[in-house]
Amino acid sequence: SQTIHQWPATLVQPVGSPLSLECTVEGTSNPNLYWYRQAAGRGLQLLFYSVGIGQISSEVPQNLSASRPQDRQFILSSKKLLLSDSGFYLCAWSFGSGTDTQYFGPGTRLTVL
Amino acid sequence: EDQVTQSPEALRLQEGESSSLNCSYTVSGLRGLFWYRQDPGKGPEFLFTLYSAGEEKEKERLKATLTKKESFLHITAPKPEDSATYLCAVQRGAAGNKLTFGGGTRVLVKP
């Protein structure tokens, strides 16, 4: 069976500091990978998605970037955090072909102070 | 632009009191409609995928239905453990695997 991991679970960072959130998937090959952000009381907003190593599509122009250095690893980064970057960050995966369902990880709660 | 609107925003139920959640959508070429359950501080948990109008799916006390403009999630005789936020999302046929989510409905079931 497939499992998805995210870390850290929680993070408190000062404004202007860098960010690196990591997501890994086990039990499948060549998954599609996604980063979402969920602000307090709001729905999920797709930030980035990737269909393969080094292939990243950005949905929202912002202070964040994503990378996929390995098949089952997805990283969300920022060089300088803003207050508005606070939120709940969720990584998700889906099979590369066929089934469209996205499966979510446990999330990272980021607070920028 | 794809749009998903969920109502009500919040729902308080007594244990055993059945109710329905609504998900209205506007999308060009629906490929699939998804329902997820999200507990506080956790990632969404997949419940159902519906692909065409008239389709229905059930899981324990939950039943999801789909029309050309909306989807309903029926909760029959809910229990306190059904308390959660329920999220609806749509996928457009020409948009790859991208999902557009609604704002969710927070359900609280009191014993």
Cα A62 to its chain centre, rounded Å, is 14
**Is-contact B79 B34, C-beta < 8 A?**
no
Report DSSP letters for chain A, one per residue.
--EEEEE-SEEEE-TT--EEEEEEEES-SS-EEEEEEE-TTS-EEEEEEEEETTEEEESS-SS-EEEEEETTEEEEEESS--GGG-EEEEEEEE-SSS----EE---EEEEE-
Residues of A in contact with B87 (CB under 8 A): 43-44
* pLDDT of amino acid B95: 56
Q: Does position A94 have pLDDT exceeding 70, yes or no?
A: yes
Cα A34 to its chain centre, rounded Å, is 6
Per DSSP bridges, beta strands B56-59 and B62-66 are antiparallel
| Contact with chain B for residue A103, Cβ under 8 A | yes
Shortest alpha-carbon distance between residue A59 and chain B (Å):
10
Instruction: Report the 10 Å Cβ neighbour count for B46.
Output: 14
> Which of A100, A103, A109, A110 would you mutate first to test chain B, the one with the most B CBs within 10 A?
A100
Q: What are the structure tokens assigned to A108, written together?
A: 């990272």
Full pLDDT tens readout for chain B, 111 residues = 889 999 999 999 999 999 999 999 998 888 899 999 999 999 999 999 999 999 999 999 999 999 999 999 999 999 999 999 999 999 987 556 788 999 999 999 999
Longest dimension (CA), chain B: 45
Q: Does position A95 have pLDDT exceeding 70, yes or no?
A: yes
pLDDT per position as a tens digit, A35-92 = 999 987 678 999 999 989 999 988 886 789 999 999 999 999 999 999 999 999 999 9
* pLDDT of amino acid A60: 81
More confident residue, A104 or A62: A104
CA distance B31 to B51: 6
| Contact with chain B for residue A86, Cβ under 8 A | no
| Contact with chain A for residue B97, Cβ under 8 A | yes
* pLDDT of amino acid A39: 86
Sequence-distant (6+) residues with CB within 8 A of B103 are A42, A43, B5, B6, B9
